[in-house]
Structure 1
Amino acid sequence: MYLLVPNEVLLACPVCGSPNLHDKLHVQDKSVSQETFIIQQCLACGFQFTNPRPDAASIGKYYESDAYVSHNSAAQGMVNRVYKAARYFTVRRKVALIKRLNGGRQGHLLDYGCGTGHFLAGAKKAGWQVTGLEPNDRARHDAAARVSQPILETSALAKLATGSFDVITLWHVLEHVHALHDTLNQLISKLKPSGKLLIAVPNAESLDAQHYRQNWAAYDVPRHLYHFAPAPMQRLLASHGLRLIQTLPLVLDAYYISMLSERHLAPERAGGPLAMLKAGYKSNQYAAQHGGQYSSLLYVAERADAGR
């Protein structure tokens, strides 16, 4: 199925502004449209991004799949069953993490791009005052029922009170956001002076990204507009007056992404569960020995002037 939608072309790197770009990979959207998209890389800072890309008004068509588990809690199949099983454990870890980062106490939490609301529900149950923003209608309604409170559209971000949140989280969300800099500016303005911004994204410099190349499921074009790595991410955060205080591994992602990537391979190359487990294990082992280049990373940042 090919989707003819308006595209937009970026003429410069979204992170450093350099116009020196080159085509790195051609990647097929194997989830929805079967179209092929170009991933470009900035020759100045190394940042990778999908270019051209569907514009913000049109990209919703590329999310129209019942298998897209982030927007549909009823999604079925082996991959989604694994995702849901892992989510049970990761939600508890996430809630414990934000409490630790907030000095061992509950506070006010904003989850931007909250999906179907499982993390929000876990945080609320643990005593947090929670606010969720989500652009997808189905996911937003699902989350509202799960959290037992209204979930807002992402456009409501501008109306939230300045300096009102102890923690703001984006769990695999920033790679989807067209208005990258405007959104970061608005999110930062909603943080309390000592608040923490948590951004979880795939790492395009991980071993599993190198292994699967154009079949790496975390490229997820065109839904993933940006393909982050530690150095460009740190540069992006610094450009917004943020200080990176911690980078944490998301070790389960290596197995989940490898499982999805194996499904993208041609039948004669694809392996079974053993191949997925081997790829995930090797990726995590490599990361442990090579500067923490895990399949996905969680960046924890605060204002550079925090505490002054």
Structure 2
Amino acid sequence: MILNRVTNELLERCPVCGGTDLRAKLQVQDKSVSQETFTIVQCQACGFQFTNPRPDATSIGPYYESAAYVSHNSGAQGLINQVYKVARFFTVRRKVALITKLNGGQPGRLLDYGCGTGHFLAGAQKARWWVAGLEPNDLARADAAARTHEPIGRPTDLTGIPAGSFDVITLWHVLEHVHTLNETLEQLIRVLGKGGKLLIAVPNVESLDAQHYRQDWAAYDVPRHLYHFSPASMRRLLSRHGLTVRQTLPLALDAYYVSMLSEKHRSPERAGGPLTVLRAGYSSNRYAAQHDGQYSSVLYVAEREA
């Protein structure tokens, strides 16, 4: 199904280094919504990979219109979404404990950019954090507002927030969706307070599960995922904005979740069951432990350079 009234945009320069030698690397099908095929290109200067061409910001909305898109819909059903919700219950606690530790053991001021349905914000709120969220999806934004009893803005509201407003800013699997990549990072850094931390979680295109599943790797998630980061490309991007990565942390559960989705993307004769998923997730995490932390998803903790 090719969606109507979609305007595509073609990037002629790499968003990370500005290079112009962009070569097709992989053809990936959108298995979730449109069934269209999209091209992932790689910059020959720095190695960064991104979806190109891609629907522009005004056209991409219909590609998110799926009842199964659980980060936008708390009522999403099905086995995979139930697994996601169970994992979310435990990971919210870990995320809140992490930001509290990074903030010197005390609650502070939190902005969750792309807050989805607000579960993380609500968890931080219970731990006495002052919270704010920005979310583009109307349904998710209303859900987050009801859950936190706080107004939830749109991403465009970021430019109106006073400088230095937050101790911690989080983007949980969000940056790969943002059309205005460099402009958004500039604004996020502007509203980050002195000594504040910017936390960015994204899939890792150099993980073992990415190599194993190739075009069936669910974390490509074209065209919703515009960018496909590696640790090297993320460090290069953040350095361009005067940020230093102080820590990289594994999101080990993602290897199992992404492998489960990826098996569903495979043809019926190649798709495996639960044991295949467990083996793939375990192998990916074991590989990462032996290869410089190349986990399925990586959390980058960054702060401004002195």
**Shared fold by TM > 0.5?**
yes
Aligned residue in 2 for 1:211: 212
Deviations 1:122-153 (A, max 9, x none): 00010000000000000000111111111111
List 4+ stretches of structure 1 deviating above 4 A.
none
CA RMSD of aligned residues (A): 0.5
Structure 1 residue 193 displacement after superposition: 1.1
Identify unmatched segments of 5+ residues in structure 1. Answer: none
What corresponds to 1:289 in structure 2?
A: 290
Deviation string 1:79-128 (CA, Å, 9 cap, x unpaired) is: 00000000000000000000000011010000000000000000001000
SS at match of 1:67: coil
Decide which moves more: 218-227 or 146-155.
146-155
Q: Which runs of 5+ in 2 are unaligned?
A: none
Task: For residues 142-174 of structure 1, give each alpha carbon's deviation from its aligned partner in whole angstroms, at most 9, with x where no partner exists.
Answer: 111111111111111111111010000000000
Structure 2 counterparts to residues 110-189 of structure 1, below 5 A: 110-189=111-190
Q: Which amino acid aligns with 1:190?
A: V
Match for residue 3 of structure 1? Answer: 3
State the 1:208 CA deviation.
0.1
Distance (whole Å) between structure 2 residues aligned to residue 215 and residue 271 of structure 1? 13
Alignment of 1:84 onto 2:95: no
Shift of 1:44: 1.2
Counterpart for residue 228 of structure 2: 227
Shift of 1:26: 0.3
For 1:280, what is the secondary structure of its paired residue?
helix
- Using the aligned pairs only, state the percent identity: 73
Deviation digits for residues 238-263 of structure 1, max 9, x if unmatched?
00000110000000000000000000
Scaled by the length of structure 1, the TM-score of the pair is 0.98
**Separation in 2, partners of 1:292, 1:266:** 30
Whole-Å separation in 2 of the counterparts to 1:274 and 1:2: 35
Question: Who is 2:74 aligned against?
Answer: 73
Q: How many pairs are equivalent?
A: 305
TM-score for the superposition, normalised by structure 2: 0.99
